Amino acid sequence: MTDDAPEFCPLGIDGILVRFARVLTEEANAQALAFRDAVAVAALPGVGEIASSLTSVRVSFDPTVTSRVSLMEQLREVTQTLSAQALTPKRLWHIPVAIGPDHAPQLAEAAALAGVTEDQAVAEITGQDLRVIAIGFAPGQPYLGMLPPHWNIPRQGSLTESLPRGALIAAVRQLIIWAADAPTGWRHIGQTAFEVYRPDAAEPFAFAPGDAVRFARVSDHEFSALHQGDGNGGARCEVLR
């Protein structure tokens, strides 16, 4: 936990919002996700749905079983139990990505907006572990962060009508792996052969919030071979804890 205590706010007649920050940071996101998991494990009487957002968690409760005052005190105690290990990723995904001329049509534009060279941009994309901070917009679609502050780049002035499934998108300080062919106002800076959403699989969503992702650059030729595979695209999942 940070030195700043989370905020506990009433939310409706049967909810409590626990807010770890008002601005998205990796640490606040990790705290929210760890807290959500800890509340689920605690199995507190009267607690219903536990839903996390980027930096906060809504805990619903049954007023006939517990009171807001009592539950708030119990939730404060849960925040004190969060260990440093609980804030670390449980899994690390290693994902090949093609960033050659055939599969990164807007890399140069994105790099220029970020104030770096293309080589520097690639080094920053592949040189750090990014965290799945949220799943959304499309089924299984991950938002990965955070890139350095200079990646706080604006949206495009016009909409790209469609980008293919597996496209790697730069969106502010986040990267997104496109779950399905869809339009976007953000920039296409690479291509994976990894299917983040498989509706027929036992676990349709490949990622869970809090997972870590490490990209490895491959050539266009290597990507073509991966693209002919089983939808895993050469990805490998490493269990960390």
pLDDT tens per residue, range 64-102: 999 999 999 999 999 999 999 999 999 999 999 999 888
Asked if residue 4 has pLDDT above 80, the reply is no
The Cα-based distances of 153 to 110, 130, 219 in angstroms read 8, 18, 26
Give the pLDDT score at 45.
97
Mean pLDDT in residue range 140-155: 96
pTM: 0.90
Give the pLDDT score at 186.
97
Mean pLDDT in residue range 188-199: 96
| Average predicted confidence (pLDDT) for the chain | 95
Give the pLDDT score at 139.
96
The Cα-based distances of 66 to 7, 8, 19, 41 in angstroms read 20, 16, 21, 18
Residue 85, exposed/middle/buried by CB under 10 A (0-12, 13-18, 19+)? exposed
Mean pLDDT in residue range 26-32: 95
Rounded distance, CA 205 to CA 143, Å?
A: 13
Give the pLDDT score at 44.
98
Mean pLDDT in residue range 121-148: 96
| pLDDT, greater one: 96 or 1 | 96
Asked if residue 22 has pLDDT above 70, the reply is yes
Rounded distance, CA 110 to CA 104, Å?
A: 10
User: Which residues, at least 6 apart from 190, have a Cβ–Cβ distance to it below 8 Å?
Assistant: 97, 98, 99, 103, 104, 107, 125, 167, 168, 215
Give the pLDDT score at 230.
78
Give the pLDDT score at 227.
86
Angle at CA of residue 21, ends 18 and 22, nearest 5° = 105
Give the pLDDT score at 48.
98
Give the pLDDT score at 1.
42
Mean pLDDT in residue range 14-27: 96
pLDDT band, residue 3 (cuts 50/70/90) = low
